[in-house]
Structure 1
Amino acid sequence: MAILVTGGLGYIGSHTVVELLNNGFEVVIVDDLSHSEKFILKNIEEITGKKPVFYPFDLKRKELLTQVFDAHPIDGCINFAAYKAVGESQERPVDYYENNLFSLINILQEFKTRNISNFIFSSSCTVYGQADKMPIDEDTPLKMPESVYGKTKQMGEEILKDFAKAHKRKISLLRYFNPIGAHPSAKIGELPIGVPNNLVPYVMQTAAGVREKLNIWGNDYDTEDGTPIRDYIYVVDVAKAHVAALQKLMNDPSEEGVIDIYNLGTGKGSSVLEVVKAFEAANNVEIPYQICNRREGDITIAYANVDKAQKELNWKSETSLEESLRTVWEWQKYLNSRNF
């Protein structure tokens, strides 16, 4: 079975490609390399012993996407093709709406034309906004996200719900909390281009001396230590959830539209300062940091209720925060060895 993985050389995409290949799927990657690097393709092959098909182009170019579907018998798609930086999305809203939504619509046009089902959408806990209670389950009312990035994810979900209903397709919406870490081989991991927008890669680069100090965006939040709380989940655990969700869709006998929605997290929140201390303890390094003003679009607290994914996908997070952060440092050492 051939699975199209868009953004498949990116952070979560590359780890999911590894898990798909290890589970016997054929993989076709489309990635424009705007937030990834070509060497990741070679490293995926080294990890799995299998080479996925790769197309280096922009999904907004519909005529090129059509060529991929003409060339391969696609049985499903996992869509990671999106810009994802909260802060950047506030500065470049039109770019985010164009990239994150037009690419999705182009894929769905091919699915409609060719009568393909089994679509997994890389969504985000940002669709909940600042939830009124914790933990957040899948029935938590959605609020208008504070960031443009979050809005594109919420809009993407609505597009897919309408598509599933109108065309009787099977779709899974996976709402990630905060994926972190790197593959145990240290050959793939998060590779921020330019200044990192997410906490853990910034911590990693600060530990490596690439950045002078870690900027902590606010210490006046209503939390125990004043810094925001998130649910940090190991990226390989997230990747495995995609395979489980795909297998569930493919085995679903329903001929009606199916929308599965799952939170992917650990069920536990950690503050920014707790993550910094855990990284220091896991890797025996010191992280210099400074407190800055709050960043627009950030919320105070978010962590998941993951009971539904455990029950319906037989999946759960298995990796501790400390172990996840240890793999981050091994990945940074690998990048150092490449002079990257």
Structure 2
Amino acid sequence: MDSEPWRSAGFIGSHACVELLTAGWDVTVIDDLSNSSREALRRVEELAGRGLRFVEGDVLDAAALDRAFGDGPCAAVIHFAAKKAVGESCADPLGYYRTNVGGTISLLRAMRRHDVRRLVFSSSATVYGDPAPEACPLAEDAPRSASNPYGQTKLFVEQMLRDLAASESGWHILSLRYFNPAGAHPSGRIGEDPRGIPENLLPSAMQAAVGRLPELRVFGTDYPTRDGTAIRDYLHVVDVATGHLRALDHLSAVDGCAEYNLGTGRGVTVFEVIEAVRRASGREIPTVLEGRRPGDATAVWADPVLAERDLDWKAERDLDDICADAWRWQSENPAGYGT
């Protein structure tokens, strides 16, 4: 079996590669290493006990894409390549549209050139915008209205994929709307290693616990939630990775385009996450309370029933598992892949 994951040296992609290789897929990775590491791929091969093919290049580079496709038949593409920080997207919307939307157009053109029409796309729960808390859990048919440029790029790409599938026969496209992937591989060998100061809560809290950051900044304590902080659906990255295997298995049943949530169906607050990190690490987390961050939603969590029914997929790990594995990764790799 052959698959071509794009931008797969990063957090979610590296975990997906372990699962793909272990399941018997032959994997080619194309990544520009702008927010990832060759060391991550080396550890992926170590964990899987198998090698992969790596092409260094940008998803916007047609020649690099052609090199990635050039070595033989490709059964499917998993498209991870994207910028993904909400706050950064508000400061640099054009950069996000160029990479996330323009990069997808570039990839789809390459797939056409090489007659590959099976795609799993990494979408996001940000397509649901800032729903009223009482609207949660969110099913796939919930209203979509992104509240930040990152979410808008995912909305645009989803619509573009639907338009493509409607205009050309033979496409089998499945978009996975992740909620909040977090955690690390249980081995502690691969995990989340963002460049610079992380924007996501879990890696920030873990870096504060290990002393890599002096403090954890909490954005917003006046939300209309049970403790005043925002609510999210945290999903173990290994569960996200196995979701991609289920999606690949289901592609043949998709005539055109389909979308599925990947989430646990449980929402937790920022303060509840911090307490879970404290339990996992055995350390106090120094925090600084600040105002709300532009683009952040109040409360977002999933209704995962459709993925359970159609993909035979269900999240198997909870918040304590997420924090235990993330702490193992962070404590054993205090400088990330630089150790």
Common fold by TM > 0.5:
yes
Change (3 A) 1:339 1:96: closer
Are 2:5 and 2:13, in contact at CA under 8 Å, matched by a contact in 1?
Answer: yes
The residue number in structure 2 matching 1:154 is: 155
Are 1:131 and 1:140, in contact at CA under 8 Å, matched by a contact in 2?
Answer: no
Are 2:209 and 2:281, in contact at CA under 8 Å, matched by a contact in 1?
Answer: no
Q: CA deviation at 1:111?
A: 2.0
| CA distance in 1: counterparts of 2:193 and 2:213, whole angstroms | 15
| CA distance in 2: counterparts of 1:281 and 1:114, whole angstroms | 50
- Answering whether residue 163 of structure 2 is matched by residue 165 of structure 1, we say no
Q: Which amino acid aligns with 2:256?
A: V
Q: Which amino acid aligns with 1:288?
A: P
Are 2:131 and 2:297, in contact at CA under 8 Å, matched by a contact in 1?
Answer: no
The residue number in structure 2 matching 1:10 is: 10
Deviations 1:154-178 (A, max 9, x none): 1111111111121220000100000
- Answering whether residue 86 of structure 2 is matched by residue 86 of structure 1, we say yes
Question: Percent identity at matched positions?
Answer: 41
Change (3 A) 1:131 1:2: same
1:240 is paired with a residue whose SS is helix
Q: CA deviation at 1:339?
A: 5.5
The residue number in structure 2 matching 1:238 is: 240
Are 2:60 and 2:107, in contact at CA under 8 Å, matched by a contact in 1?
Answer: no
| CA distance in 2: counterparts of 1:295 and 1:207, whole angstroms | 22
Deviations 1:81-122 (A, max 9, x none): 000000011111111111111211111112223332220110
Q: Which amino acid aligns with 1:10?
A: G
Q: Which amino acid aligns with 2:236?
A: Y
The residue number in structure 1 matching 2:115 is: 115
| CA distance in 1: counterparts of 2:58 and 2:256, whole angstroms | 28
Are 1:119 and 1:171, in contact at CA under 8 Å, matched by a contact in 2?
Answer: yes
Q: Which amino acid aligns with 2:70?
A: D
Aligned runs of 1:30-41 on 2, under 5 Å?
30-41=30-41
Aligned runs of 1:168-207 on 2, under 5 Å?
168=169, 169-207=171-209
Are 1:5 and 1:80, in contact at CA under 8 Å, matched by a contact in 2?
Answer: yes
Q: Give the TM-score of the pair, scaled to structure 2.
A: 0.96
Q: CA deviation at 1:286?
A: 0.9
Question: Which segments of 5 or more consecutive residues in structure 1 lack a partner in the other structure?
Answer: none
Aligned runs of 1:6-85 on 2, under 5 Å?
6-85=6-85
Deviations 1:294-338 (A, max 9, x none): 100001000000000001111100101011101111101221387
The residue number in structure 1 matching 2:293 is: 295
Q: Which amino acid aligns with 1:186?
A: G
| CA distance in 2: counterparts of 1:138 and 1:198, whole angstroms | 24
Q: Which amino acid aligns with 2:107?
A: I
Are 2:55 and 2:64, in contact at CA under 8 Å, matched by a contact in 1?
Answer: no
Q: CA deviation at 1:282?
A: 2.2
| CA distance in 2: counterparts of 1:146 and 1:28, whole angstroms | 34
Deviations 1:112-166 (A, max 9, x none): 23332220110000001112411000010111x1211111111111111111121
Are 2:262 and 2:304, in contact at CA under 8 Å, matched by a contact in 1?
Answer: yes
Deviations 1:45-76 (A, max 9, x none): 11001111001111111122112222231111
Decide which of 262, 275, 278 is 2:276's aligned counterpart: 278
| CA distance in 2: counterparts of 1:263 and 1:108, whole angstroms | 23
- Answering whether residue 332 of structure 2 is matched by residue 330 of structure 1, we say no
Q: Give the TM-score of the pair, scaled to structure 1.
A: 0.96
| CA distance in 2: counterparts of 1:280 and 1:312, whole angstroms | 37
Which moved further from structure 2: 4-13 or 129-138?
129-138
Q: Which amino acid aligns with 1:328?
A: A
Q: Which amino acid aligns with 2:152?
A: K
Aligned residues: 335
Change (3 A) 1:60 1:203: same
Aligned runs of 1:202-241 on 2, under 5 Å?
202-241=204-243
Q: CA deviation at 1:229?
A: 0.1
Q: CA deviation at 1:293?
A: 1.1
Q: Which amino acid aligns with 1:184?
A: P
